[in-house]
Structure 1
Amino acid sequence: MAEVNCDLVVIGSGPGGYVAAIRASQLGMKTVIIERDALGGVCLNWGCIPTKALLRTAEVYTNMKHAESFGLKAEGIGFDLDAVVKRSRGVSAQMEKGIGYLMKKNKVEVINGTARLEKGTNAPTVKVKTKDGETTVKAKHVIVATGARARTIPQAGLEPDGKFIWTAKEAMVPDVMPKKLLVIGSGAIGIEFASFYNALGAETTVVEMVDRILPAEDAEISKFAEKQFKKQGMKILTSASVEKLDKGKDSVKATIKLKDGKTETVEADRVVLAIGITGNTENLGLEAVGAKIDRGHVVVNEWLETGVKGLYAIGDIVGAPWLAHKASHEGTICVEKIAGQKGVHPLKVSLIPGCTYSNPQIASVGLTEAKAKEQGHKVKVGRFPFNGNGKAVALGEPEGMVKTVFDEKTGELLGAHMIGAEVTELIQGFGLARSMEAVEEDLMHAIFPHPTLSEMMHESVLDAYGKVIHI
């Protein structure tokens, strides 16, 4: 049995784990990372990155179909599904190699295997089952960053089977291009897959239990998004639930309970389950060493400490928001706190931007208008439409909106919400503003380049204070 001694061992190499490992190495810690599958975790291999490659294909394909509006000619437009998937997998493979390079560059030892915690002296001992046997890793500190997986519906007939009923993983490597697709759940994951398959020609239906799609977003943005998706041909059923799925030889019949209590039958070739995720907490020995698990996630404090000496947890396994950039930031906070670095601050969830890479894109940071009012703020709200922006019109992307929410008394930017082309790239401008505690005057006095989509951010701020120029 091999034994490894180090300062820090990280279990899981997703965006939280590998960032934590690199930062620890930079701070002089001898670091080991354990990964049972491919470096980069779900995000890089089966989530964030490959889905964006698929969505880019859908975007290019959509533009090709509208070539005439740009003065171009494109005939015989089509796609090769196998080639589309191959490109997506190739992008992930390239990025996975990049993580391997970063591990070597930063002298982080990688052990491929499945980890389990056992009680230790300074921190839990990590036993790793590898293809060559078992390795024992003893460290001063252990960070668990094992991520999460798709949540399933605990109801007979609704479990994913890999053929007719897909999770996100199967939806990324489809065996066929469905003519009809049913997506259960309208959060970011569900809407992104609905957008991809709808763009490639699938007759797409989205079912959402609550009264609007993208329920985490500002209500005005959700309404705008639903209108755009319906215009693209999607069928959207809100305040609805899938009661059962009947599998046939080549398709599935879904019985859907509607808001009024009536039922509707929707037939689909494939079904995508996108109803959230749950932490990978099982079979790790977490509870055996004293860590607490609550509703599928590890309980931690503001410094990502589990309450067990030397044991920490970061990323999706500790709960919402389940975002790669949140996991990475937690990894940095955790390691810098362990190292005794000065100026380390706990994570503020309200500063984390959220993005949905559908067509149109959706992005937001901070409070929605409704949440701001619920918290007692008297608000000023600004809006600016894409069709009032020269760059958006020139791009052929006139559908969209930028919305800002300010505290009337202090001028604090409480939240920003966007829908339209490239808003996932724009949102960090408002994210930075919130991190720096900018007020309306700071944003109004900032000079935005012309012609850019970013000008709409400025105009939205001006609109909140009755100074808008271009509408």
Structure 2
Amino acid sequence: MPLSYDVIIIGSGPGGYVTAIRAAQLGLKTAIVEREHLGGICLNWGCIPTKALLRSAEILDHANHAKSYGLTLNGTMTADVKDVVARSRGVSARLNGGVAFLMKKNKIDVIWGEAKLTKPGEVVVGKMSKPVVEPQNPVPKGVLGEGTYTAKHIIVATGARPRALPGIEPDGKLIWTYFEAMKPDFMPKSLVVMGSGAIGIEFASFYRSMGVDVTVVELMPNIMPVEDVEISTFARKQLEKRGLKIITEAKVSKVEKGANSITAHVETKDGKVQTITADRLISAVGVQGNIENLGLETLGVKTDRGCIVIDGYGKTNVPGLYAIGDVAGPPMLAHKAEHEGVICIEKIAGVPGVHPMDKAKIPGCTYCNPQVASVGLTEAKAKAEGRDIRVGRYSFAANGKAIALGEDQGMIKTIFDKKTGELLGAHMVGAEVTELIQGFVVAMNLETTEEELMHTIFPHPTLSEMMKESVLDAYGRVLNA
């Protein structure tokens, strides 16, 4: 007799494990199927460990500029790649154990193995295939593994993996994905990064701080193409000041492999080709949903461009089957997956007042140096929608706290509807903006107007004061500029 649950969730990334916890809170008998390691890519090989690497890079950057703070270091500050990586892996291991604790605390069964959908309401779990990457902690030995399990509701949360371009497939040695880039066994002297989205730029920033000669190749006219053009242009100038080489409106058309190096053929929009020889190449051209080998075709699940098609509550076209997170389409962000999962399970449980997620209010963050963060419409998108807008800007160079920190290069930009005062978008570049952006996210969620923001008291001296000054600037009332 198969073990039966109210809900089975396939995948234990941020979307999967958070959904499982919320399901348990709502009194649903819940199980989660995992083939590799709790926490998924984000916790083990993405969001968290990259931030640990970037923190090491930030400390090194500050140390290398100690003189500007009136400090003298006795001796040379150097980076030990093994120790830097070990710290990053340790951070992930700690959080991996934390997810296991949360599963136990909430009485959620963890089923180890490879899940397959054979018919509505049924999951067959096979033997764990060899993990793509080694788990942070050994997979716990338990009674739940291979077998057949049933549930009234099944949620697919299998995440995504790096996209590969034909002819430039990662090989784990000379052409890296974020897996290899996150745990190098040596520090290359030179590097080509293909793609300037969040993943590409974060690794470019990290390796540059480590002293690597880095070249970024981006197909679009601007780096971080989803960001406001003014912000990405500012970020590019700052990155180039740090020594990054950036080539836009270009593509890597071919890669030749040597014994211990690569030669990238970079083709610009005018058809000219230049070659760049480097120790390694990082392929950061996006990710694709993990929809293969799940049995979706057998059930007739509708997919589009490598992702499962869902409605606003995670429902697929097959009754009782749902999808959340990266596998359900962009934006492919951990916090989107978590929120999407909560919406899905609360709708299943009949919680009153549940409404679909507003994707316009999902913040995006890039943790390079300088940091970039945004929410809502860019100036270009607002104009394309025919909006009559007001735009406010405020520079870090006019903020006392930024100057005191020695972090006076940055800006905050706000976009308002001229008629209603609605905050349409906020865009930032500079120190700690990934922490500041949530203030504007809350404001947008509460439908706050410019008047209410102007009457909000921000503490002094803080970086957050610039948020208010940007609002004031949009209405010709800026005080400290």
Normalising by the residue count of structure 1, what TM-score does the alignment of the two structures yield?
0.98
**1:89 is paired with a residue of what secondary structure?**
helix
- Residue identity matched to 1:333: I
Aligned to 1:337: 347
Question: What does residue range 98-177 of structure 1 map to in structure 2 within 5 Å?
Answer: 98-120=98-120, 123=121, 125-130=122-127, 134-154=146-166, 156=167, 158-177=168-187
CA contact (8 A) 1:287 1:293 kept: no
How far residue 8 of structure 1 moved from its aligned partner, in angstroms, is 0.3
- Report whether the alignment pairs 1:400 with 2:397: no
Q: Which residue of 2 aligns with 1:264?
A: 274
Which residue of structure 2 lines up, in the alignment, with residue 195 of structure 1?
205
For 1:51-450, list aligned pairs within 5 A: 51-74=50-73, 75-120=75-120, 123=121, 125-130=122-127, 134-154=146-166, 156=167, 158-450=168-460
Per the alignment, residue 470 of structure 2 pairs with: 460
Aligned-residue offset at 1:243: 1.0
CA distance in 1, matches of 2:232, 2:289: 27
- 8 Å contact 2:192–2:215 — kept in the other structure? yes
Q: Tell me the number of residue pairs that the alignment of Structure 1 and Structure 2 aligns.
A: 465
What per-residue deviation string (whole Å, max 9, x for no partner) do you get for residues 187-219 of structure 1?
A: 000000000000100000000001110100000
1:72 shift after superposition: 1.1
Q: How much is the aligned-residue C-alpha RMSD, in angstroms?
A: 0.9
CA distance in 2, matches of 1:276, 1:391: 36
Shift of 1:79: 1.1
Moved more, 402-411 or 252-261: 252-261
Describe the SS at the equivalent of 1:209. Answer: coil
- Cα deviation, 1:299-319, whole Å, max 9, x if unaligned, reads 111111001111000000011
In structure 2, distance between residues paired with 1:451 and 1:76 = 33
What one-letter code is carried by the residue in structure 2 that aligns with 1:130?
K
Q: Quick one: which amino acid aligns to residue 126 of structure 1? A: V
**What one-letter code is carried by the residue in structure 2 that aligns with 1:389?**
N
Q: Partners of 1:134 and 1:365 in 2: how far apart?
A: 43
Displacement of 1:175 in angstroms is 2.0
The aligned residue for residue 16 of structure 1 is 15
Q: In 2, Cα distance between the equivalents of 1:307 and 1:160?
A: 34
Measured against aligned partners, the alpha-carbon deviations of 1:76-113 in whole angstroms (never above 9, x if no partner) come to: 11011000000000000000000000001100000111
Q: Percent identity?
A: 62
| CA displacement at 1:249 relative to structure 2 | 1.1
Question: Residue 365 of structure 1: CA displacement?
Answer: 0.2
Q: Distance in 2 between matches of 1:5 and 1:432?
A: 40
**C-alpha distance in 2, partners of 1:312/1:239?**
38
Structure 1 residues 266-287: Cα deviation after superposition (integer angstroms, max 9, x where no partner): 1110100000110000000012
CA contact (8 A) 1:378 1:409 kept: yes
The amino acid of 1:127's aligned partner reads V
Separation in 1, partners of 2:215, 2:8: 44
**Contact preservation (8 Å) 1:363, 1:419:** yes
Q: Which runs of 4+ in 1 moved over 3 A?
A: 130-133
Shift, 1:134, TM fit: 2.6
* Mean CA deviation greater in 126-135 or 53-62: 126-135
Contact 2:112 2:146 in 1 (8 A): no
Moved more, 408-417 or 252-261: 252-261
CA distance in 2, matches of 1:352, 1:160: 31
> Does the 8 Å CA contact 2:33/2:115 hold for their aligned counterparts?
yes
| 1:331-382 CA distance string (max 9 Å, x none) | 1000000000001110100010000000000000000000001111011000
SS at match of 2:301: coil
Give the secondary structure class of the aligned counterpart of 2:373.
strand
The one-letter code matched in structure 2 to 1:41 is: G
Match of 1:36 in 2: 35
SS at match of 1:393: helix
1: CA distance between counterparts of 2:297 and 2:329? 17
Q: List alignment gaps of at least 5 residues for structure 1.
A: none
Distance 1:87 1:273 in 2: 24
Note the C-alpha offset of 1:436: 0.5
